[in-house]
Structure 1
Amino acid sequence: MIIGFGFGNPLTSILMLLATSLISYFLFRLLRRNHPEQKPTRAQLRQYYYEQRRQAREYAAQYDLTDEEIERKLDEQLGKELN
């Protein structure tokens, strides 16, 4: 998000808008860079989905479950792993 303020004659107003917008942008970047949460990479997402598919096949072979029941079991297991 970029916030800018400008008052006075048009040239001063534009310069103030640019200056405050740049300050806002750099503050945003500084705060965002220190944010610990990172997006998962393609390889991590691929590995996650492959693991989910493997577990779903195991559940389907081991139990006579519907797709909804398998999805619920996987969500419960993921919830236990995250806690």
Structure 2
Amino acid sequence: MIIGFGFGSPLTALLMLVVTASLSYFFFKAIRGRQNGDWTGGGDSDISELRRRKRAHYYEQRQRARELMDEYDLTDQEIEERINRELR
């Protein structure tokens, strides 16, 4: 949605271009926010629910990272033993 080229002076065309670009950006952000489910609509309960879901997500990711760290945080000797086991 670009309007502004070929109408009047170059300054007018540039101004129309900036206005239409900003309108497109705000429309895109509004539509994308609603599709992602992060559109809060201004209610306190919506924000608290969003915070709860995000907190749960980050706690799950932290737990998963700890599990992976326990599995792959190996010493050099353990790495060599694992390689030997896999190559047998």
Band of TM-score, shorter chain = 0.3 to 0.5
Q: Which has the larger radius of gyration?
A: 2
TM-score by length of 1: 0.45
TM-score by length of 2: 0.43
- Report which structure shows greater RCO (CA 8 Å, sep ≥6): 1
